Structure 1
C-alpha cells in the first residue's frame, strides 16, 4: 500500500516490475489518498498488506501495536550501515525507535520553497520578502491539517526555539508559541482563504496551471514531479526555505516516507528483501528516480543526471533537508497532530487570541502522552 500520487505510486510499480524480473516475486500495489496517508491506522493496513509505505511519526504507535516487522534482521548489518550513511538529513534515523529499525527511507522530503522563475526574479530568502509577495497576491501556503501545524513547527524551529518532541511537557513555551501563531495569522490574512483547505498537491496544481500568477509557496513539502519539464503547463522550481531567525534554512518539519513490512505478512522474508533492495543507492538513483520518485538516498540527491532532469530540485533543497527537524513520534502523537492542526486552523480562521490557541495546543500535547492512540 502506498499513497495516491505519481510520486508515491509510479516508482513502486516500476521497481516491482523489475523485482519480478529479477526474483520471480510479484508485488501488486494499491494506493490511498494523501489525507488517508497522513492519518490512517497503520495497524489496519498491516493486517491487509505485506508492504506499507509509512511516514515516521507513526513509529511510536506501530511499536506499541506490534504491527510492523523490524528490518534490522541479523546478517545484513553492512547493508543497514550503508543506508544510514546515505541518509538525507535525518531521514534514516527518523524510522529508528526503541533501538529497532522499522522502515527504510525511500522518499526524502521536508518543507522547502516552490517558486516560478518566469514570474519573479528570485525566490524569497527571508520571511519579510514572502510577506511582500503575499501582499501582491502572489503566494499560496498549504494550511489544510496537518500542514498548518507543520508550518508552526518549522517557523518555531527556524527561530531557534523548536517544539518539544519527547517529554510530556508543553509543546512550546507560550511566548514563542504566540509569536509563531501571530506570524501564521499575519500571512494567512494575506492569502486566499482557500489555503485553509489546501494540501501541497492542491497548491502545486494551482501554481502550475495555465495562466497562474502564483509565484511562491514558501513552506511546502517538495514534490519532484512538478519540477520536471512537461508535467504540468508551468514548471515549478524548488529551493531552500526562506529564513525567519537568521540561522539559515534550519528546522523545517521533516516529512518523506519509508518502506515497512507487516508483522502479519505470510511472506515476510521476501518483503524484507524487497525493502532492502528498493532503498539501496543503485535503485534509488536509477529506476526509482527515473519513474518519478523522490528518492531518500543521498546517491540520488547527488547524481548529476537526476538533478538535471529536475531543475536541480535536489541540490537546490539539500541544505533544508540536512537541517530539518524530526517531529514527535511517541504513541499518541498522531492523534495530537490532527487535533492540534484543527485547533490551530480554528484559531486562524476565527482570528482568535494567540494565548488561548497556544494554551490549548500545549494542553493537547501533554494529554497525548497520557492517552496513546
Structure 2
C-alpha cells in the first residue's frame, strides 16, 4: 500500500468538496494514495492567486479564466493529451476546451456549469419562457438576480451574446457599444425591481434564500446552476432549473460558461499520483458514479445523459443542457482576472448610481484594452 498523501484545494460548498471527498475515499481504497481536501470561499475561488495555492497543494480546483495567468506563472503541469481522449469526447459544451491554452491542457473539467434559470415549482407552472415574462414576475416582486462581483459582469456577457453580439475576447473593444448599452439598460431596469440586497448576493446566497418556504423568490433568470438545490431534501424547498429565458425568439445561446477544472501543481513531489487521480475523477466512471452520487455537478456527458443521475437531480441536467451546450467561453489572457473583478465593481457602481449605460460600456471597454496591454 502507498504511504503517499496528496493535498488538494477546492471551494467551500457541498457541490465543491463532498464529491471530491467521496472520490478520494474510493481512490484510497483502490490505490492506497490518500488525498486531503481543504476548502476556500466562493469569492476566494474566483480571485485567489493560483500561484500561491500551487506552493501548498498538489491538486487545485480552478476556474478556466485563470489559465492565461497560470501559464505565465508556470505553476501548473500540463496534462498528457494521449490520456485524455475519453474526457475530451465526454465534454459538455466547451468545458474541456476552456482549459486548453497555448496548445496545452492545464485542467480537466470535473464540474460543468453556466448561467441557467432557477424557478419554484408549485409557485409557477413552469420556468419563464422569455424576458417579457421575467419582467412581469419582477414587477410582482418575485424575481432575484445575483449581482455580487463577478456575477453582474457574467449577466452582461450572457445577455450580449444572447442578443447576437458576444464579447470579443481578442479586443480591443470587448463589448459592442450598442448591444452592451441596451443590456445595461435592461439590467438597470431589473435592478430597480428586485431587492437591493441582490447587489451583495452571489448564487449561493440567492439559492439559500430561494429554498426557504417563506421566500418571495420564484424566478432567477440568470444564475449559475447548482444541482444540489434540485435534490429532494437538500433544503426545505426543492428548486427547479431550466434553460435561460429567450429574447425576441433567440434561444439559450451565449450564457457565460462557469464550472471548475482539476489541475496539478508544478510544485508537487507526486506528479504521477496527482495526474492519475485527476484523470480518473474527470472521466466517465467517477463522474457518473461516486462524483454525481455525492452531490457533484458532473462535467462529463456520461452523467448528464444518465437516467438515474437525472432522476435524483430533478432532471437538472437535461433541463439545462441546451444552455450549457451553447455557452460562451470568457477571455483567459494573463491580466483578465484583475479586469473581471474591477469591471464587475465598475458595472455595479454605474448601475447603482443610474449612470448612463453608454458611459458604463465605454468605461468597461477602456478597462479591457488596458488588461490586454
What is the DSSP-based 3-state SS (H/G/I as helix, E as strand, rest coil) of the residue aligned with 1:149? helix
Which of 196, 202, 206 is equivalent to 2:205?
Answer: 202
Structure 2: distance between partners of 1:323 and 1:245: 17
Name the structure 2 match of 1:354.
357
Q: 1:20 maps to what in 2?
A: 28
Deviation at 1:210, TM superposition (A): 2.4
1:113, distance to aligned residue in structure 2 (A): 0.4
Partner of 2:370: 367
Q: Structure 2 matches for 1:1-373, cutoff 5 A?
A: 1-72=9-80, 77=82, 79-167=83-171, 169-370=172-373
CA distance in 1, matches of 2:194, 2:251: 25
- Identify unmatched segments of 5+ residues in structure 2: 1-8
Say which SS state the counterpart of residue 282 (structure 1) adopts. Answer: helix
Question: Where do 5+ consecutive residues of structure 1 fail to align?
Answer: none
State the alpha-carbon separation in 2 of the partners of residues 186 and 362 from structure 1. 22
* Cα offsets for 1:227-257 (capped at 9, x unmatched): 0001111000101011224221000000000
When normalised by structure 1's length, the TM-score is 0.97
How far apart in 2 are the matches of 1:173 and 1:317?
27
Given that 1:166 and 1:330 are in contact with CA atoms closer than 8 Å, whether structure 2 keeps it comes out as: no
Contact 1:158–1:245 (CA<8 Å) still a contact in 2?
Answer: no
**Distance in 2 between the 1:349 and 1:9 partners?**
35
Alpha-carbon separation, structure 2, partners of 1:122 and 1:173: 33
> What is the CA deviation profile of residues 148-171 of structure 1, one whole-angstrom value per residue up to 9, with x for unaligned ones?
00000000000010001123x111
Instruction: Describe the superposition over 1:29-67 as per-residue Cα deviations: whole angstroms up to 9, x where unpaired.
Output: 000000000000000011110000001000000001100
How many angstroms apart in 1 are the aligned matches of 2:164 and 2:99? Answer: 24
Tell me the SS of whatever aligns to 1:261.
strand
Q: 1 CA distance for matches of 2:27 and 2:170?
A: 39
Tell me how far apart the structure 2 counterparts of residues 196 and 369 of structure 1 sit (CA, whole Å).
Answer: 28
**Which deviations, in whole Å up to 9, do the C-alpha atoms of 1:162-184 show, x marking residues without a partner?**
001123x1111211111111011
Q: Which residue of 1 aligns with 2:3?
A: none
Which secondary structure does the structure 2 equivalent of 1:28 belong to? strand
CA offset digits 1:70-111 (Å, max 9, x no partner): 0126xxx1x411111110000000000000000000000000
Over aligned residue pairs, what C-alpha RMSD do you find? 0.8
Give the distance between the partners of 1:166 and 1:17, measured in 2 at CA: 43
CA distance in 1, matches of 2:181, 2:214: 37
In structure 1, C-alpha distance between the alignment counterparts of 2:248 and 2:87, rounded to whole Å: 32
Instruction: Tell whether the 8 Å contact from 1:160 to 1:245 is kept in structure 2 after alignment.
Output: no
Q: Against the structure 1 CA distance between its residues 245 and 94, is the aligned structure 2 distance closer, same or farther, given a 3 Å change threshold? A: farther
Runs of 4 or more consecutive aligned structure 1 residues displaced over 6 Å after TM superposition: none
Q: What's the offset of the Cα at 1:213?
A: 2.3
* Secondary structure, counterpart of 1:47 in structure 2: helix
